Chain A
Amino acid sequence: MTFFILLSIVLFFLGAGLVYRFQDIARKSRFFEKDQDTWAKKIFDLNIKGFFLNTLFQIKLFKAGKLRWLAHFLVILGFVYLLIVHAMDGVTSGFFSWYQPGIAPFRFLRNLAGLGVGLGCVLFLLRRLPRFRTNRERVKRKKGDRFRGTASILLILALIVSGFLLEASRIISEPRFDEMVEEYSGLDEDSGQMDLEAFWVKNYHLVLKEDLSSKSIDYENAASLNQEYCLDCHDRPDEAFISTPLALGAKPFGNWLARFRVDNVFYWLHYVIGLLLLAFLPFSRMFHLIAIPVASTRKRIRPQSLKKNMGLLDLFSLTACTNCGFCSEVCNVYPNFQVTGNGEILPHLKIETVKTMAKKGLWDARTVARLRSGNDDCTRCGRCADICPSGIDLIRLWESADHLMTSLGCPDNYTQVLGTSFEQWTRQDLFPKDFGNSSLTSGLADQVAAFENCVQCTICTNSCPVVAHDLNQNDLGPHQVMNLLRLGEKHMATGSRMVWHCLTCYSCQELCPQGIRVTDILLELRTQGQKTAGQIKLSQLTNQGSDK
């Protein structure tokens, strides 16, 4: 009875937690997903194949890491078996009359499943030890997250261990035997309870307080009683290949264990751990059990549908992120992180920041600016999305994160430059102070020798496709940019549209009769303009934040 009250409380808690998580996500998503049509479309536009492959067989994880897959597969397979056949045995035996938890082969299978889950958990834990970390794991993860993961694993392991201990202690427990006899047979001292006890001591590893060896036992009667009352749902326990050896080992302490009803202690321990796992499912690392199937069911974005879908930030898929870091290990622009040290380049960190941003908007100007810079570095190669074991459609995410940042007032540097007035661009206090890593050498634009030979012949400008095709919007020709440099107005030049629209086709440089590296200089001016643009953006974001 107590158990059912507890179970209903926990189930209520679980349901409320799930509703909270889902609603929480939906609420945050609405912050961004305004398009109702796409919602409707999303419900029918499902990727059923992806769901089956990635949820049942975890095929993406298999591709990413074999050992991790093995651990996951053992745990999931065993756990699902135990959940259906063992935890819900009342329901299962109602459906299938031939099913009884105590007979062959179910005792064996239960131990096997428990062993699988246990082994999987041990693999998980071993992998976390520093000694077994591979060198390939160059990606740092957050401490809190690792703790949450380890806590979940330990909880599952505790559930399995307590289960085995429970079974073992019940095998040898006399009080438990008495309870069962009373419930199922109604035998008493006169009608052969002692015979049955002796039979069980002999064949079923039962431990009794009193010594029966001096008494006369009618084993034939015992066998028939066993046949009549017990055998329907209770085989010899030897099939339980883990619990039985445990029970045999505990036999010498059998009386002591029975006196304190340790089997009941294990019973409650086992149930409480199970209920805890269930109750905290929506809030622990294990939420990915629910989120991954949902994320895998979504249709993957294709190059053709990229533009159409970029307004959709799929926050639900984001909760499927387990912070495994595979994405950052294969990230195409990892060298950008190595040089600049901007963590917001790495996918597994970007996901966290996007999540926070979707919730709080531009909560921290500096972080959002770094995210913008990091996300702009992304080349959309899709390797992160290909490897993601949770099946998150990451390309869609990066694209919509860009869109979200722009709509919140954090544009990319190009838009920033074109939206900045000339006066603001040339303000003295915004002159680039190199943030982060400084550029090592003074570049071409700082060496007079690099451009002083320009004779303003305009061959560069005449060969420039930007000048030819963009007459209305372009401001300076390349030769005029060179002239600005000669006038010492380098900073002004960095804001020129020519610098930002340059196609880098190198026609000007190849044709320059004076051998000036025109394109290289334009590109260099752009890299320096990026810094100014970044600073203007940051100061605007900070002001915007303080206005609120």
Chain B
Amino acid sequence: MRLAYFPGCKITFFLKEYGRAVEAVMAALGVTLVELPFNCCGNPSRGKNFEVSIFSAIKNLALARKYGLDIMTPCKCCFGQLKHGVYWYETRKDLRVKIDRLLAQEGLFYSSSHESDRQPSSIKHLLSFLYHDIGIDTLEDKITRPLESDKTVLQQGCHALRPFCVTGFDNPFAPQIFKALVNITGLDVIDWSKETECCGSPVAHDHGDLALKILNNKAQTANREGAVYICTACTHCQLQYQGEEAGHILSKNGLLAVSYPFVLGEALGIPLEKLRLG
């Protein structure tokens, strides 16, 4: 199976180890990740320039379509933004006309009037790809080294969940996919009141105090539930939890933030060095 790999902007500099874990897991599952010259998904521009954010998303999709590949991203913000791009592209006609014109300048097409033989690329998140395309049973069979059943809480990541009418990822307030995928690795997922609440990453730069307050609250509640791990499946969430200050707060509460590709990689029996160093 071949997929266009959309790492997003955090993996390339801030979270290289996250990207290596994704690549190692995909290699172990026999999936070929194709790297295309993608640009930003558009999420950072969402509160700055609407047109830019939609154009960025559609441009990536048009590029993937040119190569006839589906997009897979390990970041929930990228996933949500690509979905948003499609939604608004289809909703606003005048925007669509402008975007089509800009795309055509570079020989790219998104809408179905051109290259109609080719289906638009579908957008997958790492989790939805594993759950739906690989299949949870197939994945469970491949797990050779189940982890100890430590109590784990999940950080779902907002942008993939909501608004459901746009993203269509999972139940926006009682998600199941992530839970099932973590449970098969051997970890014991427990309920957590803050599971679907924001990690604080969007205001980390502008309003750091608020981000830390949210994080403190998260760490304390998770500790109260008796959790040992916070598992993430989004680069922004993971980055938010493993910052210098955040690391202190979490370790004070006896917690460690782990990314799902890393957890799965270990359960699949991929050696640690391979997960960390690629």
Contacts and interface: CB of A to CB of B under 8 A. Distances in A.
B159 A504 contact: yes
A395 interface: yes
A63 to B, nearest CB: 14
A381 B12 contact: yes
A505 interface: yes
Interface in B181-224: 196-198, 200, 202-203, 206-207, 209-210, 213-214, 217
Given A383-B12, A507-B162, A332 B55 contact: no
Contacts of A519: 163
A385 B10 CA distance: 14
A520 to B, nearest CB: 8
Contacts of B34: none
A530 B48 contact: yes
Interface in A472-506: 473, 500-506
B244 interface: yes
A332 B198 contact: no
Nearest to B213: A469
Interface in B52-72: 52, 55-56, 59
A321 B203 CA distance: 33
B266 to A, nearest CB: 23
B40 A333 contact: yes
Given A304-B244, A335-B59, A381-B40, A439 B159 contact: no
A437 B163 contact: no
A109 B174 CA distance: 75
Given A336-B56, A504-B158, A379 B44 contact: yes
A385 B12 CA distance: 11
Given A334-B39, A339-B102, A505-B198, A510 B47 contact: no
B56 A303 contact: no
Nearest to B172: A510
A465 B197 contact: yes
B235 to A, nearest CB: 11
Nearest to B96: A440
Contact of A339 (B10, B52, B196, B210): B52
A324 interface: no
Given A335-B52, A505-B158, A510-B172, A377 B45 contact: yes
Interface residues of A, number: 54
Given A339-B102, A386-B12, A440-B94, A527 B47 contact: yes
A70 interface: no
Contacts of B210: 466, 469-470, 473, 501
A239 interface: no
Nearest to A503: B198
Nearest to A414: B206
Interface residues of B, number: 50
A405 B70 CA distance: 41
Nearest to A373: B48
B237 to A, nearest CB: 12
Given A330-B37, A335-B56, A469-B213, A505 B162 contact: yes
A443 interface: yes
Given A377-B48, A386-B12, A526-B47, A501 B203 contact: yes
Interface in A331-345: 331-336, 338-340
Contacts of B95: 440-441
B142 interface: no
A395 B56 contact: no
A235 interface: no
A381 B10 CA distance: 6
Nearest to B91: A441
B51 interface: yes
A382 B12 contact: yes
A442 to B, nearest CB: 10
Nearest to A386: B12
A477 B34 CA distance: 44
A440 B51 contact: yes
A510 B162 contact: yes
A332 B206 CA distance: 21
Nearest to B94: A440
Given A336-B56, A527-B50, A506 B39 contact: no
A524 interface: yes
A392 to B, nearest CB: 15
Contacts of B44: 333, 377, 379
B158 A380 contact: no
Contacts of B197: 465, 505, 507
Nearest to A506: B162
B136 interface: no
B51 A437 contact: yes
B164 to A, nearest CB: 7
B217 A469 contact: yes
A101 B95 CA distance: 70
Contacts of B162: 505-507, 509-510
A380 to B, nearest CB: 6
A395 B173 CA distance: 37
Interface in A222-266: none
Given A332-B39, A339-B102, A505-B198, A523 B213 contact: no
B46 interface: yes
Given A332-B40, A386-B12, A503-B200, A527 B48 contact: yes
B49 interface: yes
B40 A527 contact: no
B14 A303 contact: yes
B132 interface: no
A381 B13 contact: yes
B114 interface: no
A380 B205 CA distance: 13
A303 B13 contact: yes
Contacts of B92: 440-441
B39 A380 contact: no
B40 A335 contact: yes
Contacts of B94: 440-441
B206 A509 contact: no
Task: Please list the 10 inter-chain residue pairs (A to B) with the smallest Cβ-Cβ separation, ordered nearest first.
Answer: A382-B13, A506-B162, A381-B9, A505-B158, A379-B9, A505-B198, A526-B47, A503-B198, A335-B56, A414-B206
21 contacts: A333-B56, A336-B49, A339-B55, A377-B44, A380-B9, A380-B14, A381-B12, A383-B12, A414-B207, A440-B92, A469-B210, A470-B209, A501-B203, A501-B207, A504-B158, A506-B163, A507-B158, A517-B163, A524-B50, A526-B47, A530-B47
Interface of B: 9-10, 12-15, 37, 39-40, 42, 44-52, 55-56, 59, 92, 94-95, 98, 102, 106, 158-159, 161-164, 172-173, 196-198, 200, 202-203, 206-207, 209-210, 213-214, 217, 244
Given A340-B52, A440-B95, 8 more contacts: A332-B40, A377-B45, A379-B9, A414-B206, A469-B214, A510-B163, A524-B50, A530-B48
